[in-house]
Amino acid sequence: MSAQDSTFLKTEHEEKSLRQQKLVRMFLMFMTAMLVLPVLGILSVIVARGAPGMSLEFLTEPPRANMTAGGISFALIGTVWLTAVALLLALPLGVSAAIYLSEYARDNWLTRLINIAIVNLAGVPSIVHALFGVGAFVHFLHFGKSILAASCTLAVMTLPVVIVATRESLQAVPQPFREACWSLGATRWQTIWRVVLPNSGSGILTGVILCVSRAVGETAPIMFTGAVLYAPFSPEGVFDQSMALSTHLYNVSTQIPNVPPGLPFSVALTLIGVVLAMNATAITFRMRLRGRKKW
C-alpha cells in the first residue's frame, strides 16, 4: 500500500470514536422510540375502542338515561366555555406580565424572586389549585360554583405557562433590534409594539397552545369550582354551572354504573379531538407568523 493511500485509513482512535458514535446514536434512537410507543399505544386503543361510538348525534345530543346513553353535547359546549373564558383571563394577564418582566423590569432581587415564584407556580399540583379556587373564587369572591370560578382557577393554573412562553419568545428577539429602534427616538412601548411583539407572536402562540391543552384536559381544578355531574342545559353565561368533557370522562369511567364499555373511550377521543383541533388552529396561525419572521 502506498503512503498516499494510508493517509485515508482509519486510525485506531478514529475506529473507537466511530464505534462510540454508533452506540450513542442507537441508544438515543431507542429512547426516542420508547417515548413514542406509549403515545401511539394510547391513541390506537382510544381510537379503536372509541371510534365505533362516535357519530354526529354523539357530539350534538345531550346525555340520556342517567348518562349511559345519548351524546355529550353539554359537556363539549361546557369545555369550550371553560377553556375560552380561562384563555380570555390568562392571556392578557400573562402576556402583560411577561412584557413587563422582560422589557421593563430591572434585573434585581425582586424580579428574580418573581421569576422563581412563577416557575414554582407551574409546579403546584392541580388539586392544590382546585382548593385555592374553591376558597378564592367560589367563596371569597362569591362567584359560586360557576364557569367563571372554574375558568379563573384554570387561568391561575395556566398563567405560568403563558408567562414563561411569552417571556422566552420576547427574549429571543435580538437586543440590537431594540437598540436600533431606541436610537431612532422610539419609546420602550413603541419599540415593543412595532418591533418586539410582531416578532415574538409565534412564541406567544406556542404558549397559548400549551395553555389550551392544559386547560381542556384538567379535571381536578374544575370539579370543585364549576363542573357538575349532570346539567340538563348548555351554559348561557359565565355564572352558570356546566358539564365538562374531562369531568364527564371521569364520571362515566368511575362514578356511574352500567355505562357501556365503549362510551368512556368515545368521550376520551372527543377530548383529544378538541385539544388537537384547538392546537391545529394555533399552529396554523403560528406558521403564518413564522413565514414573516426572517433575520
Partner 1 sequence: MVTPGAHSAVESMLDVKGLTVRYGAHTALQDVTLQVRPNEIFGIIGPANAGKTSFLRALNRMSDFVSGMQIEGSVHLAGRDIANVRNVYALRRRIGVVFPLPVGLPLSIYDNVALAPRLRGVKSRAELDEIVERCLRRAALWDEVKDRLRNLGSLLSGGQQQRLTIARALSQDPDLLLLDEFSIAVDPVTTMRIEEVLKELRQEMTIVLVTNLVQQARRLADRTAFFLGSRCVEIADTEDLFTGTVKDQRTRDYVEGRYG
Number of residues that bind partner 1 (CB under 8 A): 24
CB under 8 Å to 248, separation ≥6 — which residues? 67, 72, 75, 267
- Is 109 a binder of partner 1 (CB under 8 A)? no
- Closest contact distance (angstroms) between CB of 97 and partner 1 is 18
Q: Name the residue among 188, 31, 158, 12 with its Cα closest to residue 84.
A: 158
**Binding pattern for the stretch 197-216 against partner 1, x by CB under 8 A and - elsewhere:** -xx-----------------
Q: Interacting stretch for partner 1, rule CB under 8 A, among 15-23, 56-64, 193-201, 253-261?
A: 193-201
Helix (H, G, I), strand (E, B) or coil at 2: coil
Write the CA distances from 16 to 19, 20, 22, 23, 237, integer angstroms. Answer: 5, 6, 10, 11, 68
State the sign of the Cα–Cα–Cα–Cα dihedral 287, 293, 294, 295: negative
Closer Cβ to partner 1, 109 or 140, answer by number: 109
Instruction: Look at the block and give the residue holding cell 406567544.
Output: 204
The span of 13-21, 83-91, 127-135, 180-188 binding partner 1 (CB under 8 A) equals 180-188
Angle at the Cα of 170 from the Cα atoms of 165 and 175, rounded to 5 degrees: 150
Candidates 153-161, 189-197, 217-225, 249-257; binding stretch for partner 1 (CB under 8 A): 189-197
Cα–Cα distance measured from residue 52 to residue 262, given in angstroms and rounded to the nearest whole number: 8
CB of 57 to partner 1, least distance (A): 49
DSSP 8-state symbol, 185: T
Contact status: 181 vs partner 1 (CB under 8 A)? yes
State the amino acid at position 160 in one-letter form. P
By CB under 8 A, residue 195 contacts partner 1: yes
Using CB under 8 A, pick the residue from 183, 237, 254, 257 that binds partner 1. Answer: 183
Residue 64 parent element (H or E): strand 63-64
Cα–Cα distance measured from residue 127 to residue 168, given in angstroms and rounded to the nearest whole number: 27
Site for partner 1 contains 112 (CB under 8 A): no
Residue 92 vs 174, nearer CB to partner 1 = 174
Return the CA Rg of the chain: 25
Contact track, partner 1, 224-243, x by CB under 8 A: --------------------
114 near partner 1, rule: CB under 8 A: no
Q: Cell numbers for 94, please give them.
A: 400573562
| Min separation Cβ 94 and partner 1, Å | 23
Binder among 17, 55, 187, 255 for partner 1 (CB under 8 A): 187
The grid coordinates of residue 277 equal 383541533
Single out the residue of 124, 180, 276, 280 in contact with partner 1 (rule: CB under 8 A): 180
Shortest distance, position 283 Cβ to partner 1, whole Å: 21
| 177 is an interface residue for partner 1 by CB under 8 A | yes
Contact residues: partner 1, CB under 8 A? 106-107, 176-188, 190, 194-195, 198-199, 292-295
